[in-house]
Amino acid sequence: MTNKLHPLPPSFHVRARDRLKARAEAAGLDGMLLLLGPNLAYATGLFLTPNERPMGVWVPVSGEPTLLLPGLERENAEGTGIADLRFYEEFPGDIPAELWMLDQIGRKSIAIDFLDAALLDAARDRLTHLDLTDHALAARTIKEPEEVVLTEAAAGFADCFLQRLHGSAADIIAQGGTEADLLADGMAHARKALFAAHGSTFAGTPMGITATVHSGPRAALPHGAVLDRKPRPGETLIAGIGASLGGYHAESGVTLIVGEMSEEQRHVMQAMTACNDAAVAACAAGRTCEEANAAALDALRRAGLGAAIRHRIGHGMGLQGHEAPWLAPGDRTPICPGMVFSNEPGVYRPGHDGYRFINTMIVTDEGVTVPSRFQSDTPIEARVIPL
C-alpha cells in the first residue's frame, strides 16, 4: 500500500476533454456544459466542495475550454491548465448562474448534464438545441489505466478494515464491545494506514474510508444502522467498506459468524460465493448489465434463497461510489473492458439474519480482475469470530 501513486495529472484531463469533444461532435453539438461535480472533476481535475453555487466547465468541439465559477473559487481555478477563467459574483444573483454561463458561452447547440426544471424555458430561449443527456457520465464509464490504478489501491484499504475487524473483533466483543466499537476500531486502523501511505501526496483530493458494521436480526437490513449493540454468539455480522483515493472509489465487504458456524450458515455462505462467481463470469463474458444481474441472482434462487433477495448484484464505481452502469434489471448496457463494478451478493431474512459479500470488479480485455482480496484470502471456514 506504499507504492508511489499520484493524483491524475493535467494531461489526463486534457485527454478526457478530447474524449468529451469527440462525443459532442458525434452528437452534432457545439459542445458540453458540465455542472455536476464528478463531471467537473473528470474534465478539469478540480474537486470543489459542492454547495448552492453552480460551478461549470464549457468543453467546446472547437476552441478552448472555459471554467465558469463563483468568484470565491478564483484561486482554486488556477493550476488546471485552462486559461479562460470566468467568474460570477454571488448566488443567487440577478441572473441564475446557469443562464449566465450560457450567455458567456454564446453557442446555440449545447448539452448540459444537469439543469433545474425551473430554468428549462429560459435556457431553451437562449439556444436552438438543448441536449440534457449526461454525455460525460457515458465517457466516465470506461476507465483509463490511471484511473484503474487508483481504484485498485482504494480496494486495498477497504480490505485493510476487514483484516483489522477479522483480527480484533473477538477481543473487542469479549470486552463487551459493540458494533459501534468494532466500527471505530476498524475505521481508525484503515484511515491511519491510508493517510500514512498517501496523505501528503493526495492532499486536496477526496480520500477516505466509510464503513458499516451491523449484526444479528439487524443484519437483515441492507442499509442497517450501526448501534451500540453487542454481537451475540451464533449471529451474523456484516461489514461493508468503501474507500476512495484521488477521488476514485472501491468497495470490499464480508459476513462473519460470531462463534461457531452452523450448517445453515455455511450453506448460505456457499450460495453467496456461487452468486459472486456467477457475476464475475457474466462480466468477463461481456454480457449486458441486466444479464449479469440475472445470472448472479439465479445462483441464490437455485440455493432456495430467492425470497431473501433485496437488491441488485452491483453498481458502477469511479468518481462516485455509486454510478452507472448498474448491474440491475433495466440496464441493457453491454459490459466492456474498463468498466468497474461492485459485486454484492446479499441474503436478508428479517427478524433472523442477513448476509452480504462485496468485491470490486474491474473488467479487462482478458476477463475480470478482483482487487478486493479479503474474501479470496479468507476461506468461508475462516470467516468466524472465535469466542
User: 264-274 pLDDT, tens per residue?
Assistant: 999 999 999 99
- State how far the Cα of 154 lies from the Cα of 164, in Å rounded to an integer: 16
Mean pLDDT of 308-327: 98
Q: Does the pLDDT at position 305 exceed 70?
A: yes
Instruction: Give me the pLDDT at residue 270, please.
Output: 98
CB distance 40 to 57 below 8 Å: yes
- State how far the Cα of 110 lies from the Cα of 131, in Å rounded to an integer: 6
Instruction: Give me the pLDDT at residue 1, please.
Output: 44
User: 266-301 pLDDT, tens per residue?
Assistant: 999 999 999 999 999 999 999 999 999 999 999 999
- State how far the Cα of 188 lies from the Cα of 193, in Å rounded to an integer: 9
User: 120-149 pLDDT, tens per residue?
Assistant: 999 999 999 999 999 999 999 999 999 999
User: 163-180 pLDDT, tens per residue?
Assistant: 999 999 999 999 999 999
Instruction: Give me the pLDDT at residue 79, please.
Output: 81
Q: Does the pLDDT at position 2 exceed 80?
A: no
Instruction: Give me the pLDDT at residue 4, please.
Output: 84
- State how far the Cα of 47 lies from the Cα of 50, in Å rounded to an integer: 9
Q: Report residue 69: phi and psi, to 5°.
A: -135, 160
Instruction: Give me the pLDDT at residue 3, please.
Output: 54
Instruction: Give me the pLDDT at residue 289, please.
Output: 98
User: 91-110 pLDDT, tens per residue?
Assistant: 999 999 999 999 999 999 99
Instruction: Give me the pLDDT at residue 138, please.
Output: 95
- Which candidate, 86, 78, 27, places its Cα nearest to that of 54? 86
Map out the domains of the chain as residue ranges.
10-140, 145-385
Query: What top-level class would CATH report for the domain 10-140?
Result: alpha beta
Q: Give the contacts of 353 (CB within 8 A, at least 6 positions apart).
A: 216, 217, 219, 220, 235, 236, 265
The type of residue at 54 is: P
Q: Does the pLDDT at position 216 exceed 50?
A: yes
Mean pLDDT of 212-239: 95
- Which candidate, 76, 100, 77, places its Cα nearest to that of 88? 100
- In our burial notation (b when 16+ CB lie closer than 10 A, e otherwise), range 125-145 reads eebeebbeebbbbebbbebee
CATH of 145-385, one of 3.30.1300.30, 3.90.230.10, 3.40.50.720, 3.40.50.300: 3.90.230.10
Residue with cell 474510508: 209
Distances (CA, A) of 40 to 21, 34, 207, 295, 296: 14, 6, 17, 35, 34
Q: Does the pLDDT at position 114 exceed 50?
A: yes
The set of cell numbers assigned to 316 is: 458502477
The type of residue at 44 is: T
